[in-house]
Amino acid sequence: GRRITAQEIIEMGSDSTGIIAGVEPYTEEVLSYLPYLKCISRVGVGIDNIDQSYAKKRKIKIRNTPNVVIQPVVELVLALIFDLLRKITLHTNLVKSLRWEKHVGNLLYGKTVGIIGTGRIGKKISELLTLLGANVIAYDLYPDNKWADSNRIKYSSYEILLRDSDIISLHISPTGKEKPLIGEKEIKSMKSGVIIINTSRGHFIDEKALFDGLSTEKIRGAGLDVYVNEPYYGDIIKLDNVALTPHVATLTKESRLEMEFEATKNLLDVL
């Protein structure tokens, strides 16, 4: 029910040849106390919690489960988008407070959605949004033009995506050296009333700049599943125009079981 500490990894893994891992820290210092380790098998996709250069030096194999996470993350992204467009969380809280108030929402149909990062998840969400009637523009350092052409999706520059999108969703692969991609300058360049979704990593958005944008309603709403510090108890929770989840994008019964099964199989294959 919590993330284990570096000391607990050392205590439990000191004689291990394989570890089935979550997002706990496998730094050089931690790995140096695991002399028999041959494989770290992640239940999930991100491996930025592992010192990859040191693991390579030690010839420790790293495995993950990239395909299993696609469906649950995509479904949560869609849920957050619809929640904010139709103000579901806001209306729920009002009704619970015995306030029968109606706030006008918006359709997804016809909106321009900017997808930052077109890996497996970015591609899938782009395809579904297109089928739902949205206009999707994408940004990626390594654009897949063949895929984009066959799915009626346009790649653009980062600046144009920020300027033209009604909804922006981040799908960047973490590297372990994250810097904010969206800060005060980027928010200033966006449309008034933009919606921002982040299910990638908290560090990709400057939380202070996001709070300021939400407070002034330059940003209409934000759907967040990830935060710089987790658990998150910061100022954004005080706002009404947000939909917040506690890093649960892959947490469905079906996907977790499949991820754990695949991670176990990956470990056995290496050993």
Question: For this structure, is 171 an active site residue?
Answer: no
Options 63, 201, 203, 220, the catalytic residue: 201
Q: How many angstroms separate the CA atoms of 143 and 118, rounded?
A: 8
Token couple for 228: 């710089």
**Phi and psi based region of residue 144 (left: phi greater than 0; alpha: psi -120 to 50; beta: remaining):** beta
Of 82, 86, 84, 78, give the one whose Cα is nearest residue 102. Answer: 86
Q: Are 73 and 127 in contact (CB under 8 A)?
A: no
Q: How many angstroms separate the CA atoms of 227 and 199, rounded?
A: 9
Question: Computed over its alpha carbons, how large is the radius of gyration of the chain?
Answer: 20
Options 11, 217, 230, 254, the catalytic residue: 230
Long-range (24+ apart) CB contacts under 8 A made by 257-265 are 258/65, 258/68, 259/43, 259/44, 259/65, 259/68, 259/69, 260/20, 260/43, 262/65, 262/68, 263/20, 263/41, 263/42, 263/43, 263/63, 263/64, 263/65, 264/20, 264/41
Options 163, 247, 256, 260, the catalytic residue: 247
* Helix/strand/coil for 212: helix
Question: For this structure, is 2 an active site residue?
Answer: no
Alpha helices (H) along 111-216: 120-131, 145-150, 158-164, 184-189, 207-215
* Size of the chain, expressed as the number of residues it contains: 271
Question: For this structure, is 247 an active site residue?
Answer: yes
Q: Report the greatest alpha carbon distance in the chain.
A: 62
Catalytically active residues are 201, 230, 247
